[in-house]
Amino acid sequence: MLKLLGARQLGNRDTAAVLRVLDNDPVANCMIAARVEEFGVAGRGLQGELWSRGGPTDSLCYSGANLVPLLGDQLDLRAFADRAIREPRVCSSLVGRRELALPLWDMLVAEWGSPRELRPDQPLLATRERSQVAGHERVRQVRPEEIENYLPAAIAMFVEEVGVDPRIGDGGRGYRRRVAHLIAAGRAWALFEDGEVVFKAEVGSVSRSVGQIQGVWTHPDVRGRGIGSAGTATVTNAVVAGGRTASLYVNSYNAAARRVYERIGYHQVATFATVLIE
């Protein structure tokens, strides 16, 4: 009967049940699990809301800067879409397992309009083993005092990957804060040459069991020299050495990156889809 009431916002009393659900699919759910483990379901640090139609063991969706369907059938997705349409839109993208993300987007597109970009096929990769590719001995964690050197590379990666400048709107203050947080947490890695970043990657989300790597970027002037492969291997090894599964996702058409990740030892565990929204 509760399911007939539509999607409701969960509270801290639901935290244990939510974590059990997220643990059932730890690699795909890493981004949300990391926040719930640290802040609970209703903490400010969650930076969003968790919705369910009935209870978290039946259906689950995260709504924040990203809209992330985590569990549910068609009726559950319909309830999530209805709630998302009723409220002011706060997300700039919809991302998650393809079998959930794409049907949810089909329910939203008439109201939200055509996407800026649709990425329907993104292999989600994972490994629990040290890299089969040798790491780079000079790729290391970025120090807080190096943020000014690191930021240009982070911005270049964001523009190249997402297609917009992260400084738009507030002059880059919000993006700088996010980058500074990753650096302070020891989750930003780089190779510096004469003070300039020529390779970078971040461990964007860290749950109890998974570290999700993001923002892998190599300076255009040094691509094709194996720096990206060795650098990614170094970051992968750091995640695995911490007792976690290393994961990342990649666009299916990026054949060069997929070959690199396969050589490192990654294997596909699911398929993501991402909708970048205007």
Identify the CATH number of the domain in which residue 176 sits.
Answer: 3.40.630.30
Tell me if 30 is assigned to some domain.
yes
Q: How far apart are CA 198 and CA 228, in angstroms?
A: 9
Same domain, 156 and 245: yes
Same domain, 170 and 63: no
Residues 6+ apart with CB under 8 A from 31: 66, 68, 204, 205, 212
Tell me if 129 is assigned to some domain.
no
User: Are 272 and 151 contacting, i.e. CB atoms less than 8 angstroms apart?
Assistant: no
Tell me if 132 is assigned to some domain.
no
Same domain, 255 and 165: yes
- pLDDT tens track of the chain, all 278 residues? 345 568 999 999 999 999 999 999 999 999 999 999 999 999 888 999 999 998 999 999 999 999 999 999 999 999 999 999 999 999 999 999 999 999 999 999 999 999 999 999 999 999 999 999 999 999 999 999 999 999 999 999 999 988 889 999 889 999 999 999 999 999 999 999 999 999 999 999 999 999 999 999 999 999 999 999 999 999 999 999 999 999 999 999 999 999 999 999 999 999 999 999 97
Residues 6+ apart with CB under 8 A from 74: 103
Same domain, 173 and 221: yes
Same domain, 92 and 167: no
Domain boundary among 94, 113, 132: 113
Q: How far apart are CA 195 and CA 184, in angstroms?
A: 19
Residues 6+ apart with CB under 8 A from 130: 236, 237, 240, 241, 265
What is the count of structural domains for the chain?
Answer: 2
Segment holding 205, helix H or strand E: strand 196-206
Q: What is the pLDDT of residue 278?
A: 79
Q: What is the pLDDT of residue 2?
A: 47
Tell me if 276 is assigned to some domain.
no
Tell me if 16 is assigned to some domain.
yes
Chain position carrying tokens 């996010």:
178
Q: What is the pLDDT of residue 162?
A: 86
Same domain, 151 and 212: yes
Q: Which domain holds residue 177?
A: 140-271
Give the tokens for residue 6: 């539509």
Q: What are phi and psi of 208, to 5 degrees?
A: -65, -25
Same domain, 34 and 88: yes
Same domain, 181 and 247: yes
Q: What is the pLDDT of residue 169?
A: 86
Tell me if 39 is assigned to some domain.
yes
Tell me if 134 is assigned to some domain.
no
Same domain, 184 and 253: yes
Domain boundary among 72, 98, 113: 113
Same domain, 86 and 149: no
Same domain, 68 and 150: no
Tell me if 32 is assigned to some domain.
yes
Same domain, 100 and 145: no
